[in-house]
A and B are shown apart, each in its own frame.
Chain A
């Protein structure tokens, strides 16, 4: 029982934090091996306790490279804060008063497609219901992680999203596979509506709990290729507004 205590939860994070702090107190910014990366983040969640918790876990800018520049508790507040602070990444809860995470995404659509400095969204939710997850992804979120994620993983995900990559949790991969499951009938638009064999393989491995690095090793491809596959899947998911996804959602009474 001692091992799990060390590997996850707050104690684990504080352990690494103090270790990093002790080792690298002279050279601030080198911590986490992030090569001095820095990302500005806004937290959107209606539970203050949770915001505080996340802030405590990832907010030590010197160690994690993450700077929380704003917080919001509902949709209106979120839009105001995001517009004012222009963060690089927004950690977005799915269930929010005022219309939910999807509404925030809708009202921030212009910021997302900004060429200069795009705002990217990472959904962070306690809900693992398919309609919530697929909903925010289709709304434009770049990834989706559940709130059980560890601090270290969350920081890694934030950086990945900042770089323009998609972050797929195993569960999200499962939902996507499910959404595209019965695509044996020839779709109208091949490129858009169908996952390639390779993309499917990658998704399967994600669903099986593999990390990107491990997938690359398994399929004898580079991590970059894995990332591009995942991004392609995400794009298809966001664009594919007909056929399977609609049918799938209708069958589950999600739309």
Chain B
């Protein structure tokens, strides 16, 4: 067993499979992929390819073959960064971290270099004088094919990286350009073959065949895409359902079990039920992306008040009803006010919780943040509290005044105590 744990460290991918490297590549990432696979420096592999290229273009053919057949992957050379690259390799274990990026300088240089070398090569190689005429169309076809195939490459990468929709126009543009190039090249070959006279009829025939195929296959294609999108939708729904089920299972069933176990302890049951209700409510009614599962610090007044109330409620077993009007980000002064409010909630829960729920009201209006915490307890006289009791004087009144706010305690008609906290927000925010 211990051996099994150590071996993968030495050999990260037990069945070594050749991938083209997607990050830090110049062309198709073949050289980097190979280098990573063989454990050689990239430069060597690249040199070998260039050398082979000189041998009647073998290198180019080889490279193209690799490009064609080897799937794009992550990895390649791990820790050796070629100097000309914009550093994007994120980590030694960058397998998962694929970064969508624009072609960098290295890629452009490589492309230019390739074109130059190809031209020199073409100039040197002696083809038949007749064959030479076919060169341009052939190059055109080659470029078109390359463009479309690169496309497929990118589409694949996009599936991992989830590139945004804006890329779609670019994709179409590229595909169109590729098709255009291929068409031009093929037509050129036709023209050169001297069958230019028949070009019109050939094109017509080709068009007819294409239309026929479209008519025949069209419905199936449409059906297929529809099925595909439908299937995707179903999958998303199923995922959502699974998530809901998981949540219900995790928290709700768990709580119900606890409640069954603690059936005699009314207070505990009530505490559990309230906590669960709050949790589920947040989960159900809060819009997506507003911190359903987040555990980090609150950043706004509404968030801070609700969270403090929830914590106090859980701790002291007294229901706290929260109403928040407006919202604003927290700053130092408001943060202090939130602490004071929390202290007030604790006091209300401790001393006034018998009379019923504690009411918390927070309002942000303009620059002023107002928080009121009231209970329906026996009431509270500040003067009757011994001077050494710091809870209210220091934690609430003192804290508010130190930060430039005001705190008022008063008896409420109908019984109970209300703490009113008022604070001006700091200038610089918002």
Contact = CB atoms under 8 A, between A and B. Distances in A.
Interface of A: 1, 3-5, 7-8, 127-129, 170-171, 173-174, 177-178, 181, 204, 207-211, 213-214, 217-218, 253
Contact of A181 (B325, B374, B412): B325
Contact of A4 (B270, B324, B418): B270
Interface of B: 266-267, 270, 281, 285, 287, 317-318, 321, 323-326, 354-357, 359, 361, 363, 365, 372, 374, 412-414, 418
B266 A209 contact: no
A177 B364 CA distance: 11
Given A178-B326, A207-B325, A214-B414, A1 B359 contact: no
B321 A209 contact: yes
B76 to A, nearest CB: 45
A181 B325 CA distance: 8
Contact of A170 (B281, B321, B413, B418): B321
A123 to B, nearest CB: 16
B323 A170 contact: yes
Contact of A178 (B266, B325, B374): B325
A174 B270 contact: no
Contacts of A4: 266-267, 270, 318, 354, 356
Contacts of A127: 285
Nearest to B365: A181
A5 B413 contact: no
If over half of B's interface residues share one DSSP class (helix, strand or loop), that class is named, otherwise mixed; here it is: mixed
Nearest to B415: A214
B266 A5 contact: yes
Given A7-B356, A128-B281, A177 B414 contact: no
Most buried by B among A4, A8, A174, A218: A4
B172 to A, nearest CB: 31
10 contacts: A1-B267, A4-B356, A128-B285, A171-B323, A173-B323, A174-B323, A208-B359, A210-B412, A214-B413, A217-B413
Contacts of A214: 412-414
Contacts of B359: 170, 208-209
A93 to B, nearest CB: 16
Contacts of B321: 170-171, 209
A98 B266 CA distance: 38
B356 A181 contact: no
Given A1-B317, A127-B285, A214-B414, A208 B372 contact: yes
B393 to A, nearest CB: 23
Contacts of A1: 266-267, 317
Contacts of A128: 281, 285
B414 A217 contact: yes
Contacts of A217: 413-414
Contacts of A211: 414
4 smallest beta-carbon distances between A and B, as pairs? A209-B359, A174-B323, A1-B267, A217-B413
Contacts of B361: 170, 174, 204, 207-209
B270 A181 contact: no
B323 A129 contact: no
Contacts of A204: 361, 363
Contact of A218 (B324, B326, B363, B413): B413
B285 A207 contact: no
Given A7-B356, A181-B365, A209-B359, A129 B285 contact: yes
Nearest to A8: B356
A7 B318 CA distance: 13
Most buried by B among A170, A211, A213, A218: A170
A211 B374 CA distance: 13
A117 B363 CA distance: 40
A4 B365 CA distance: 35
B265 to A, nearest CB: 8
Contacts of B326: 178, 181
A209 B361 CA distance: 8
Contacts of B357: 209
Given A127-B285, A170-B321, A177-B325, A213 B414 contact: yes
A4 B357 CA distance: 9
B327 to A, nearest CB: 9
A3 B354 contact: yes
A184 B359 CA distance: 28
A6 to B, nearest CB: 10
B374 A209 contact: yes
Contacts of B266: 1, 4-5
Contacts of A171: 321, 323
Contact of A174 (B317, B324, B413, B414): B324
A181 B370 CA distance: 14
Nearest to A170: B323
Nearest to B357: A209
A128 B321 CA distance: 12
Contact of A177 (B281, B318, B356, B363): B363
A211 B363 CA distance: 19
Given A171-B323, A204-B361, A217-B413, 12 more contacts: A4-B266, A4-B270, A127-B285, A170-B323, A171-B321, A174-B361, A178-B325, A208-B359, A208-B372, A209-B359, A210-B414, A214-B414
Contacts of A209: 321, 357, 359, 361, 374
A213 B412 CA distance: 12
A150 to B, nearest CB: 9
Nearest to A184: B366
B305 to A, nearest CB: 12
A207 B323 contact: yes
B418 to A, nearest CB: 8
A143 B5 CA distance: 65
Given A3-B354, A208-B372, A213-B414, A174 B281 contact: no
Contacts of A174: 323-325, 361
A208 B323 CA distance: 8
Contacts of B355: 7
B378 to A, nearest CB: 12
Contacts of A8: 356
Nearest to B277: A148
A127 B277 CA distance: 11
